[in-house]
Amino acid sequence: MYDIGQAEIEAVTKVLTSKQFMRYRGGEGGYTEQFEKALQDKFQVRHALTVNSGTSALICALAAMGIGPGDEVIVPAYTWVATAMAPLAVGAVPVMADIDESLTIDPEDIERKITPYTKAIIPVHMINQPCNMDAIMAIAKKHHLLVCEDACQACGVSYHGKRVGTIGHTGTLSFNQFKNITCGEGGAVLTNDERYYERALMYHDAGCFTRSHASTIKEPFFPGVNYRVSEIQGAIMFEQLKRLDGILDNLKASRKIMAQVFAKTGQFRPAPHHDEASAVNMSIIFPEAASAKAYAEKHHLSPISESGRHVYTNWEPLLEQRAFHPKMNPFAWAQRKIEYTPGMCQKTLDIVARAINLGVPYNVTPEAARAGAEKLIS
């Protein structure tokens, strides 16, 4: 979380005073709807739907695209575990693919992991670093696959002039406490496809068929769940969105200074970036794990391999293919035997052991950013 202040306090106070907390009960035209319209405009996307988390956004997006039992969804082996669990929520199964040194999914391994049952790819723009979306969209087109961008850790970041989350068939954002903009917990589904939007809308709200927008929906209604947000979250996000580009500009400026300083050292190199001009994060790569570990200990940091739940080897409930009920276990519906082993993505394990995410200092002077970077090469 970067900035939050009086504007958010005043917006929330206005909602509390109105006593209209629900977006669909006197809330039409309220803060949540205003936020969605502003998000559509800023991201240049036709549809935006606010939901209660990035995880819910992923599930809604997959449901909207018709992903379900028997389908396989390719996900990276380095991501927050929710990326891999989202396919399970719609009855599909995740297939893990390696990352490359950009710390994002490797397009070459996507190709290797495609089977006759593959239906979708979820590229994840981890730690504000965009995936190679040109290559991924080309693969998707070649194999007739759907793409759901997980931009939960990269809200607002650009890839060759487009915001991540708007390039695939659907995209998702997170407004969790630790994201670029936040309301504590929240998320959004993005899409340019009318049908996908309508299906996400009805999936995220069990009462969608009772709302004022029901008469405009062309898609037949089906039962949904409840991933709605309140007007309190909508109010915070309406104000937070106004801060987004300033936050990213600050990160970009500090990252540029760090890159200039790091160019002096031979200890490590910045992780490759798929749009260097728009880069807002700094991760570094070492030749071998031992040097990364030594550097991390010296500077009180940790290699990415120690980030725990972000690496597939720590996704115990998924690796053991458990479910809340055996008759609802998606692995029983798969069209082939799905096997997970600790070493199945060895390339990923090698890279995360050699990589350290430094992040980027926010809202500091150029002099402070340079001084901080100098300490990291001392």
Whole-number pLDDT of residue 26: 60
Q: What is the distance between the alpha carbons of residues 263 and 226, in angstroms, rounded to a whole number?
A: 49
333 domain-assigned: no
The structure tokens listed for 343 are: 């070493």
Whole-number pLDDT of residue 28: 65
Whole-number pLDDT of residue 307: 79
Mean pLDDT of the chain: 96
Among residues 242, 266, 298, which one ends one of the domains? 242
Tokens 């939007």: give the residue.
197
Q: What value does the mean pLDDT take over residues 23-42?
A: 88
Does 198 share its domain with 292? no
Catalytic residues: 179
**Phi and psi of 164, rounded to 5°?**
-65, 145
Among residues 242, 258, 283, which one ends one of the domains? 242
Q: Is residue 377 over pLDDT 90? A: yes
For residue 266, what is the domain's CATH number? 3.90.1150.10
For residue 223, what is the domain's CATH number? 3.40.640.10
Does 273 share its domain with 193? no
Whole-number pLDDT of residue 2: 81
Q: Is residue 342 over pLDDT 60? A: yes
Q: What is the distance between the alpha carbons of residues 60 and 67, in angstroms, rounded to a whole number?
A: 10
Among residues 242, 272, 298, which one ends one of the domains? 242
Cβ within 8 Å of residue 168, ≥6 positions away: 123, 133, 136, 137, 140, 146, 147, 148, 149
Min mean pLDDT across 46-50, 180-184, 306-310, 370-374 is at 306-310
Q: What value does the mean pLDDT take over residues 213-236?
A: 96
Please give the model's pTM, rounded to 2 decimal places. 0.96
Whole-number pLDDT of residue 29: 77
Q: What value does the mean pLDDT take over residues 245-260?
A: 97
Half-sphere exposure of 173 (CA within 13 A, CB side): 32
334 domain-assigned: no
Does 204 share its domain with 272? no
Q: Is residue 27 over pLDDT 70? A: no
Whole-number pLDDT of residue 171: 98
Whole-number pLDDT of residue 265: 87
329 domain-assigned: no
Does 267 share its domain with 187? no
* Domain span holding position 252: 244-310+345-375
221 domain-assigned: yes
Q: What value does the mean pLDDT take over residues 350-378?
A: 95
Whole-number pLDDT of residue 135: 98
Whole-number pLDDT of residue 16: 95
Write the burial class of residue 341 (CB in 10 Å: 0-12 exposed, 13-18 middle, 19+ buried).
exposed
Tally of structural domains, the chain? 2
Does 218 share its domain with 147? yes
Min mean pLDDT across 18-22, 238-242, 283-287 is at 18-22
Whole-number pLDDT of residue 78: 98
Identify the band that residue 1 occupies on the pLDDT scale cut at 50, 70 and 90. Answer: low
